[in-house]
């Protein structure tokens, strides 16, 4: 627990620096995390003799994040289409060795990993980049949104843990993640909603009525992202996706909820906040 707490504090500090600086640093760190996550995904499926093309998939993931930074409107669709075609055409070569299954797992993987981390970039550089004045200084819209996403995700995880420890009795998904409880999930929804309500409205000045559904969505989809990654680990028979982050496992272990919440906040901003 101590190692996990220390690592978490260091992670928050690093995140604050990287988010604030933004630019190529933020995009570069997002790219590195995505490539590590892709490697973890590939290693997981190799564990059950379902190997995916590590290098080819990594290039597609990198291209997808590059497109999200330089030309998101058309570039991302082009990369997804071209990447899918390349991987499925590869199944023709290995049709007698489960090539189509490999291609399907590979396409699912680069979309799962690449699109999720691409939305970190889309969210940080969200347009319009109007300035939000706060008690702690000025934030661009993108900075404010990505902080709401991270705070909501981290808070949901913490509220679920402590509520589950204090009151948890009813398993939430016993076959997937036995330690998660309904009480912990409810605590996460209530706590996250209140926190986003306060920070979103009273600190960043967003519409009061919109922050409540955003908080609920962050708690729900954060939990779902966690369960999806737990399902992946169950399916591939691994305990953790990696050991890069002390006390937290791999990138997929640490960013599983973020990978669902980043797109949620981005499209919430696009279709609801505007």
Domain map (residue ranges) of the chain: 1-125, 131-274
The tens place of each residue's pLDDT in the chain, 274 residues long, gives 666 677 778 888 999 999 999 999 999 999 999 999 999 999 999 999 888 999 999 999 999 999 999 998 789 999 999 999 999 998 888 666 668 888 999 999 999 999 999 999 999 999 888 899 999 999 999 999 999 999 999 999 999 999 999 998 899 999 999 889 999 999 999 999 999 999 999 999 999 999 999 999 999 999 999 999 999 999 999 999 888 777 678 999 999 999 999 999 999 999 998 7
What gap in Å lies between CA 200 and CA 208, rounded to an integer? Answer: 8
Specify burial of residue 37 (Cβ count, 10 A radius: 0-12, 13-18, 19+).
Answer: buried
User: What predicted TM-score, i.e. pTM, was given to this entire model?
Assistant: 0.93
Q: What is the SS3 assignment for 131?
A: strand
CA-CA distances (angstroms) from residue 49 to 56, 87, 101, 240? 18, 18, 11, 18
């Amino acid at each position: 627990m101590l190692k996990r707490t220390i690592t978490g504090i260091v992670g928050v500090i690093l995140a604050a620096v990287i988010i604030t600086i933004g630019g190529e640093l933020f995009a570069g760190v997002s790219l590195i995390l995505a490539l590590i996550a892709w490697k973890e995904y590939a290693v997981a499926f190799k564990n059950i003799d379902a190997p995916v093309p590590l290098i080819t998939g990594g290039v597609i993931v990198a291209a997808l994040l590059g497109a999200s930074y330089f030309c998101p409107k058309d570039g991302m669709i082009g990369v997804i289409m071209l990447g899918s075609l390349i991987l499925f055409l590869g199944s023709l070569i290995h049709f007698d060795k489960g090539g189509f299954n490999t291609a399907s797992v590979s396409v699912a993987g680069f979309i799962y990993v690449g699109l999720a981390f691409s939305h970190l970039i889309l969210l940080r550089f969200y347009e319009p980049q109007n300035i939000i004045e706060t008690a702690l200084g000025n934030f661009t819209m993108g900075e404010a949104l990505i902080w709401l996403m991270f705070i909501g995700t981290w808070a949901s995880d913490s509220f679920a843990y402590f509520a589950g420890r204090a009151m948890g009795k009813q398993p939430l998904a016993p076959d997937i993640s036995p330690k998660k409880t309904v009480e912990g999930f409810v605590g996460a929804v209530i706590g996250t909603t209140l926190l986003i309500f306060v920070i979103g409205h009273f600190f960043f000045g967003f519409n009061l009525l919109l922050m409540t559904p955003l908080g609920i969505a962050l708690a729900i989809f954060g939990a779902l992202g966690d369960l999806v990654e737990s399902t992946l680990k169950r399916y591939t028979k691994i305990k953790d996706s990696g050991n890069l982050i002390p006390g937290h496992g791999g990138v997929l272990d640490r960013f599983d909820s973020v990978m669902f919440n980043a797109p949620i906040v981005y499209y919430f901003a696009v279709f609801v906040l505007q």
